[in-house]
């Protein structure tokens, strides 16, 4: 179960990186380290990639015919890559495909909630209150991040932060809903 | 009791050592006859001068009741409400009216502008009740709130956002010690709501104490530094929010964490 989950997450990440790289190469041909810098800048520092991952990704993309080197193969670090027509097609298809897989719930609160419901009903209220506080602080941090992105003219990043804001708002509503339920009776059935 | 004497030192908040308490509710209970929601059950809380506090909670939780008690538009069934060192329970109706006029600015969800008065005339009402001719100040306020050009229009010819800004100018005309806002963005579209909250944030940065009731956590946390959560008539949480400079990666991770481990 654990392995399966890890694998699933890993595949999703690799796909985002793969198509992220394709998307950047659509703008212009780039070296490996330019891809890394631009990818991280695009994500506004919310995703660190190491250069090894970038080179591995570029090699796979080249193997699959989705990117191709521009000019001569010399110093690998200086090798420019461009998008191939197949890569363009793959990118367009990916962008046009809605996300229909299982919803990704990465945060530990989901497991904490399950355990608290099963084994520690008494402290559930406290747990929810503490989590709610953390979400409020996160909302404030996200608000500041969104303001910063707008100030910098990064509308794309502001949109991403906005998504995170709305997600956190939903999490907060969830905490409120859980807090207002009567867990003494409702929480008893756990299977 | 004469409100004028009571409030002699009011503007300074009456505090010592830098921190001054502006509002204190002590064991406040409010019971409504006939099962109307919004009752309070033993609420104690204090608000300091210069704070921007948001009160949040589901409808009927008692958050608006708290605001009304602080504003002196409603009286508690038991317990005390002290604002600026003055126990509102000891004021008669006239004293309470003076208190509201001189020290409270109130902004509502549905603006409550008088339809047969222009925007400027609406703004001037509280000053006129005090015998002030506050024309200059009204113009200055309206300029700051971006509604100078609609000063001579009637409310029906204003957008929701403009109407709320007129209402804010009206709330501020007497330089209130405390600005109260009950769901001020509730009747506005997202953009207008953000602008109104932006204004409240600016006023707070200039030193205005703001007490806001809202259900919008996104907007509340953008400006408020304290969030009081109310549920079923009691305070269930009182969170002070920090404002450190955080790198984006400390706030959001876009699917990068697992891979970099």
Among A161, A165, A180, beta carbon nearest to B231: A180
- Judged by CB atoms closer than 8 Å, whether chains meet at B249 and A144 is answered as no
**pLDDT for the residue numbered A150:** 93
Chain A residue numbers with beta carbons less than 8 Å from the beta carbon of B251 are: 46, 138, 141-142, 145, 164
Q: Which of A20-34, A76-90, B188-202 has the highest mean pLDDT?
A: A20-34
Are B188 and B164 in contact by the 8 Å Cβ rule? The answer is yes
- Judged by CB atoms closer than 8 Å, whether chains meet at B259 and A10 is answered as yes
Chain A residue numbers with beta carbons less than 8 Å from the beta carbon of B239 are: 132-133, 136-137
Q: Which of A142-146, B32-36, B144-148, B207-211 has the lowest mean pLDDT?
A: B32-36
A109-145 pLDDT, tens digit each: 888 888 888 876 557 888 888 999 999 999 999 999 9
Chain B residue numbers with beta carbons less than 8 Å from the beta carbon of A177 are: none
Q: Does B229 touch chain A (CB under 8 A)?
A: yes
Q: How far is Cα A22 from Cα A86, in angstroms, rounded to an integer?
A: 11
- Judged by CB atoms closer than 8 Å, whether chains meet at B247 and A161 is answered as no
**pLDDT for the residue numbered A121:** 58
Are A136 and A143 in contact by the 8 Å Cβ rule? The answer is no
Does domain A2-96 bear CATH number 1.10.10.10?
A: yes
* Residue-averaged pLDDT of chain A: 84
B53-72 pLDDT, tens digit each: 999 988 888 999 999 999 99
pLDDT greater than 60 at residue A69: yes
Q: Report the 3 state secondary structure along A54-105.
A: HHHHHHHHHHCCCEEEECCCCCHHHCEEEECHHHHHHHHHHHHCCCCCCCCC
CB pairs under 8 A between A and B: 97
- Judged by CB atoms closer than 8 Å, whether chains meet at B260 and A50 is answered as yes
Chain B residue numbers with beta carbons less than 8 Å from the beta carbon of A3 are: none
Q: Does B147 touch chain A (CB under 8 A)?
A: no
Q: Does B261 touch chain A (CB under 8 A)?
A: no
ipTM: 0.80
B173-217 pLDDT, tens digit each: 999 999 999 999 988 888 888 888 998 999 999 999 999 999 889
Residue of B nearest to A143 (CA): B222
In total, chain B counts a number of residues equal to 261
| DSSP assignment of chain A | -HHHHHHHHHHHHHHHHHHHHHHHHHHS-B-HHHHHHHHHHHTTTS----HHHHHHHHHHHHHTTSEEEES---SGGG-EEEE-HHHHHHHHHHHHS---S-----STHHHHHHHHHHH-GGGHHHHHHHHHHHHHHHHHHHHHHHHHHHHTT-HHHHHHHHHHHHHHHHHHHHHHHHHHS-HHHHTT---
pLDDT greater than 70 at residue A181: no
- Judged by CB atoms closer than 8 Å, whether chains meet at B241 and A145 is answered as no
Q: Does B92 touch chain A (CB under 8 A)?
A: no
The pLDDT confidence band at residue A176, using thresholds 50, 70 and 90, is: confident
In terms of pLDDT, which residue wins out, B78 or A14?
B78
The pLDDT confidence band at residue A30, using thresholds 50, 70 and 90, is: very high
Are B10 and B86 in contact by the 8 Å Cβ rule? The answer is yes
Chain B interface, best mutation among A47, A125, A154, by max B CB count within 10 A: A47
Residues of chain B with pLDDT > 90: what percent?
61
**pLDDT for the residue numbered B214:** 92
**pLDDT for the residue numbered B83:** 95
Annotation: CATH topology of B18-239: Rossmann fold (3.40.50)
pLDDT greater than 80 at residue A157: yes
Q: Does B253 touch chain A (CB under 8 A)?
A: yes
- Domain ranges for chain B: 18-239
The pLDDT confidence band at residue B139, using thresholds 50, 70 and 90, is: very high
Residue of A nearest to B244 (CA): A141
**pLDDT for the residue numbered B188:** 85
Give residue ranges of A with CB < 8 Å to any B CB.
6, 9-10, 12-14, 16-17, 43-50, 53, 129, 132-133, 136-145, 147, 160-161, 164-166, 169, 172, 176, 179-180
Q: How far is Cα A142 from Cα A163, in angstroms, rounded to an integer?
A: 10
Chain A interface, best mutation among B252, B254, B259, B260, by max A CB count within 10 A: B252
Among A10, A49, A145, beta carbon nearest to B251: A145
């Amino acid at each position: 179960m654990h392995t399966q989950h890890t694998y699933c997450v890993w595949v999703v990440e690799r796909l985002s990186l793969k198509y992220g790289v394709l998307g950047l190469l659509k703008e212009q041909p780039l070296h490996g380290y330019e891809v890394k810098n631009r990818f991280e800048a695009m994500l506004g520092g919310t995703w660190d990639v190491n250069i090894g991952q970038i080179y591995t990704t570029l090699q796979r993309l080249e193997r699959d015919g989705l990117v191709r080197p521009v000019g001569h193969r010399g110093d690998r670090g200086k090798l420019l890559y461009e998008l191939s027509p197949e890569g363009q097609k793959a990118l367009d298809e990916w962008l046009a495909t809605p996300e229909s897989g299982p919803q990704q719930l990465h945060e530990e609160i989901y497991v904490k909630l399950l355990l608290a419901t099963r084994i520690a009903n008494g402290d559930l209220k406290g747990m929810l209150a503490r989590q709610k506080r953390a979400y409020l602080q996160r909302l404030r941090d996200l608000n500041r991040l969104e303001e910063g992105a707008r100030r910098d003219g990064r509308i794309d990043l502001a949109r991403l932060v906005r998504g995170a804001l709305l997600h956190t708002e939903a999490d907060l509503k969830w905490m409120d809903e859980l807090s207002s339920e009567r867990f003494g009776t409702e929480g008893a059935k756990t299977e | 009791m004469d409100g004028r004497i009571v409030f002699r030192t009011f503007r300074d908040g009456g505090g010592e050592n830098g921190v001054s308490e502006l509002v204190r509710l002590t064991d406040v209970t409010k019971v409504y006859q006939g099962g109307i929601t919004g009752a309070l059950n033993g609420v104690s809380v204090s608000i300091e001068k210069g704070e921007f506090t948001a009160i949040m909670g589901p409808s009927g939780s008692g958050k608006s009741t708290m605001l009304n008690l602080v504003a002196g538009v409603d009286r508690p069934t038991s317990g005390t409400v002290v604002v600026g060192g003055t126990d509102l329970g000891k004021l008669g109706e006239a004293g309470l009216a003076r208190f509201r006029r001189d020290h409270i600015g109130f902004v509502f969800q549905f603006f409550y502008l008088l339809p047969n008065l222009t925007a400027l005339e609406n703004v001037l009402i509280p000053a006129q009740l005090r015998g002030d001719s506050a024309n200059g100040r009204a113009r200055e306020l309206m300029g700051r709130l971006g509604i100078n050009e609609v000063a001579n229009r009637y409310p029906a010819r204003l957008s929701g956002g403009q109407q709320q800004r007129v209402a804010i100018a009206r709330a501020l005309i007497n330089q209130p010690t405390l600005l109260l806002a009950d769901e001020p963005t509730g009747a506005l579209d997202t953009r207008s709501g953000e602008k109104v909250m932006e204004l409240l944030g600016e006023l707070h940065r200039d030193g205005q104490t703001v007490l806001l009731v809202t259900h919008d956590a996104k907007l509340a946390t953008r400006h408020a530094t304290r969030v009081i959560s109310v549920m079923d008539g009691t305070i269930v949480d009182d969170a002070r929010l920090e404002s450190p400079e955080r790198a984006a990666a400390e706030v959001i991770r876009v699917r990068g964490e697992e891979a970099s481990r």
